Chains A and B, each alone.
Chain A
Amino acid sequence: MRRGCRATPPGADLIAAEIVAASTSSNLANRLESILGSGRVRAPSFTEARAADTIVEPASVDEICELVRMCEADRIALAPIGAARSIAGIRRSPVALGISMSRLARIVAHEPHDMTVVAESGITVGALNNAMAPARQRLPVDPCNPAMTTLGSLICAAHAGPLRLSEGTSRDLLIGVRFVGHGGKLVRGGGRVVKNVAGYDLMKLMGGSFGTLGIVIEATFKVRPIPPEYCLAIVPFALAADAFAAAYILNDALPLSNLEILSPALATRINFTGPFPFLLLAGFSGSPLEIGYQAERVRDLLIAQGEILDGGAALEKYELLRDIDFHSYPLSAQIAVPPAHLAGVLQSCGAEFRAHAGSGVAQIFSADEQSAEGATRIVARWREAAHSARGNLRLLAAAPAIRDSLEFFDTPNDGALKLMRRLKTAFDPAGIFNPACFVGGI
């Protein structure tokens, strides 16, 4: 694998040619420019530098196919990047080439009456949803900071947010995909219709694969109507256990949009100052009649200790909840367990958390700077808690000083890992797609 400079200052806006000279061999730079033309080969930004040494910005599928063929021939490691946060989050060292998808960001087709949208993978969730808003539709997957999260990242890093409770995740909504695989071949799975079982489900393989099987170019999603109204109940609790007990009662009683519990540090982060440190946030949506009924039920079930926000106030608080950036902490992870075990598992972890209480998924973090040994101990404790409940854990972020000592992913069981290795070999025989950073060193 080629390695160049890793630490370009943030916001560097240098002349492309100079950067290329600093970060790659002139031979590679020349070949990249021969494929892309000048001005589309550059040094990485600060975040990108942890993902890749050199960034290229292809503007067509053909260019990406050509780049893949070149990299396979010369065994140059590459990774697709959007804002580069996901790839940077899991790599111990950068790949040689980051394929920025920023110039492949078109909406190919939005069919409101079919409730589907086809878009290139470089568009952000925020931009896509802005474009569909006049038709009162949205892609109801809500990662942290949708304006920064590309569709490619949404799919490949399996980002999701509070709406996963009611709308599912990109896994549930992705109905078609086009990606560039080995040999620089463009491959299609699924289609543009909402129900389709023709051929193998290649969409599932791309989901959560972190770019290790190919480069997603285009995605087709089912979309949903934007609910007429949204309300958010916010209820403080003295004890996490009581907050979870209330959450489970609510989830059983109502078709909630989202259901989160925040630990004290995160309650503060969304600007809540109340009498008790743990915060339950239950979102519900629908027509005015449905909203009125649900609000009444929430009040009945949770006595009168909280408040119910509506309109802009509800959306503002929901966005704060959605946009908690777990990549910004020195050590953070996502834990998934059967939902009823989540409260106990989080107690065992002893970390601050945002819990998606109805889904059994939580993001946890340690805000303190840790030594490598300390971080290893913390992650071991988190993992043990997750595994004890038949769950799993993956790290979301780790500071540079500690990341080399940590395993980002759980290791699958032997049988599954053997199949995953075979899959990687079959889909990436040259080993160039974001290598050596996924499960089991894949």
Chain B
Amino acid sequence: MSTIDRTLIDELGGILGDGGIVSRATELKVYECDGWTVEKSVPDVLLMPRSTSQLSAVLAALHRRGIAFVPRGAGTGLSGGCLPLNAPAMICTSKMNRIVEIDLDNRRVVAESGVVNLHVTNAVKSKGFFYAPDPSSQVACTIGGNIAENSGGPHTLKYGVTTNHVLALELVLPDGEVVELGDHTEERCGYDLTGAVVGAEGTTGIVARATLKLMREPENHRTLLAAFPDADTATRAVSMIIGSGIVPAALEMMDQLIIRAVEEAFKVGLPLDAGAVLIIELEGLEAGLTTCADEVAQIVSAAGASSVRLARDEAERALLWKARKRAFGAVGRLAPNYATQDGVVPRTCLPQILRVIADVSRRCDLRIGNVFHAGDGNLHPIVLYDERDPNQVRRAIEAGREILKACIEMGGSLTGEHGIGVEKIGEMALMFSPDDLRVMTELRHVFDPFERSNPGKVIPQPGACVEVAAPRRQVPI
């Protein structure tokens, strides 16, 4: 494999100018992992282009020398998607952070890939619009990272995930060529390459900018907090709500371990004696909301809820969501380290999978908390461990794998929104046949015939070199 020498550093420095390149080992250490802290690898050089033309020139320079690269947004990913594997160069899009065009008449925004997710909504909310995908890390994560991972969030139950909100992309191919995919319309000319790039985890090149759809703010919300004696009862209530024909905007669950951590951190007033709570958000026309909220309250009560509380005002609603979205941060109080999983099961299998998780917790002798998108069947079991004990690290990884295996056996998926990255690449063969993986490789080669854009991700292959080390950082919120 080619390496980065002084001549190349000088060439890249000439392209990027002051502050666009980092090559000191001490500074590069910060970029050794993302939110998946179990595995680490330090890049040889960090490149921070400010424009599409700089990005293109950088990739062309790397291409001429046959050097692989890994794209990175804010580093909030949870599957090791931006871990350098046989990729000496890391390209960070954080300086490509301009919102290029806001077109409210057409409900479109054009944003560079380094724009922070929440900044898109912040730019349009005064006019009554928002950008729907809302991952818990939305205060930090970037549009480019969201596109790479096809990110979701609590409100994707109603609005769908990132791919449902991306119309067009400016993509820089691994050889530096800039291509425009899609346009500002809802129909496509030819193959839907935009759809193929979203969720490809940066293996098809680097997105420079994206045309995003905006949504109109709903007329109003109702946010309910339902407490249950145990997680099993809470998840059965989820199926009863969905089965009644009501589709909430969000339907989230926290179990007792998480409730206590969150309550200690944020003082939201969560019932500490509850075995689990559901946050149920309904939205739409004010005319129907009260009736609908009453109906949901009746359903969850009939399902065994011990109490149901309606958020009194916007402040209480915001507090509930703050608690939910920062739950991962609150977990830091419970153990020195934790690893978040992202399996998916059919909604009706939630009670079974929670029993499996409890069993895994017992067998691996590790505490596992659950805070997740119950309405989508998208689990986020949080495995607590102490990195100073190698045996615990090993058991934590084993616990995660067992849970994912059970998800697959129930007809689910390895990942609902965090991506495969390096974390789950070993499990891809559980879900996909060799023929499936071969075709996916063929698709990857359409964009990246030499596998230089984020090598070693998504599709399992031999020869990936990763240092599996004791984790040091906490997962960002």
Contact = CB atoms under 8 A, between A and B. Distances in A.
Interface string A194-208: 111111111111011
Contact of B346 (A187, A193, A197): A193
Interface in A31-66: none
A337 interface: yes
Contact of B187 (A287, A334, A419): A334
Contact of A394 (B163, B189, B346): B189
B446 A412 contact: no
B107 interface: yes
B284 interface: yes
Given A112-B243, A196-B413, A292-B287, 4 more contacts: A171-B192, A394-B189, A420-B190, A420-B193
Nearest to A421: B446
A171 to B, nearest CB: 7
Contacts of A337: 184-185
20 contacts: A114-B347, A114-B377, A115-B247, A172-B160, A191-B413, A192-B412, A195-B373, A196-B344, A197-B161, A199-B440, A201-B198, A201-B200, A204-B192, A289-B288, A290-B284, A294-B287, A338-B185, A391-B185, A416-B179, A439-B189
A411 B190 CA distance: 8
Interface stretch (A82-90, A312-320, A422-430): A422-430
Nearest to B156: A195
A361 B196 contact: no
Contacts, number: 258
B134 to A, nearest CB: 14
A169, A201, A391: residue with the most chain B Cβ atoms closer than 10 Å? A201
A11 interface: no
Contacts of B239: 113
Contacts of B181: 416, 419
Interface in B411-466: 411-420, 424, 428, 431-433, 435-440, 442-447, 458-459
B183 A391 contact: yes
Given A289-B287, A416-B180, A423-B446, A205 B105 contact: no
Contacts of B187: 158, 334, 336, 361, 392, 394
Contacts of A411: 189
A158 B195 CA distance: 14
Interface residues on A, range: 35 or more
Nearest to A423: B446
B196 A255 contact: no
B458 A199 contact: yes
Contact of B216 (A168, A252, A390): A252
A272 interface: no
A181 to B, nearest CB: 6
A295 to B, nearest CB: 10
A197 B106 contact: no
Contacts of A196: 344, 413, 415-416
A289 B428 CA distance: 48
Contacts of A192: 346, 411-412
Contacts of B242: 113-115
A427 B180 contact: no
B276 interface: no
Contact of B163 (A191, A204, A412, A417): A204
Interface residues of B, number: 89
B416 A197 contact: yes
A306 interface: no
A277 interface: no
B144 interface: no
A415 B417 contact: no
B103 interface: yes
Given A197-B417, A199-B431, A208-B191, A419 B179 contact: yes
Residue from A164, A169, A420 with most neighbouring chain B CB atoms (10 Å): A420
A105 B434 CA distance: 27
A334 B186 CA distance: 12
B150 interface: yes
B191 A205 contact: yes
B344 A193 contact: yes
Given A171-B192, A197-B415, A423 B443 contact: yes
A391 B183 CA distance: 7
B285 A286 contact: yes
Given A114-B347, A114-B348, A412-B189, A197 B149 contact: yes
Interface in B263-309: 284-288, 291-292
Given A361-B185, A439-B190, A198 B420 contact: yes
Interface in A146-202: 158, 164, 168-169, 171-172, 181, 185-189, 191-202
A103 interface: no
Given A199-B432, A336-B186, A419 B413 contact: no
A382 B108 CA distance: 24
A338 B377 contact: no
Nearest to A292: B287
Contacts of A181: 435, 439
Given A193-B413, A201-B195, A361 B186 contact: yes
A269 B186 CA distance: 26
B178 interface: yes
Which of A136, A172, A194 lies at the interface centre, i.e. has the most chain B CB atoms within 10 A of its CB? A194
B378 interface: yes
A440 B150 contact: no
Contacts of B447: 419
Contact of A415 (B150, B178, B413): B178
Given A195-B344, A415-B178, A201 B288 contact: no
Interface string B377-403: 110000000000000000000000000
A365 interface: no
B376 interface: yes
Contacts of A115: 242, 247, 347
Contacts of A169: 186
B189 A392 contact: yes
Given A255-B285, A286-B285, A116 B156 contact: no
A339 interface: yes
B382 to A, nearest CB: 18
A340 interface: yes
A208 B418 CA distance: 27
A312 B54 CA distance: 60
Contacts of B416: 193, 195-197
A360 B442 CA distance: 34
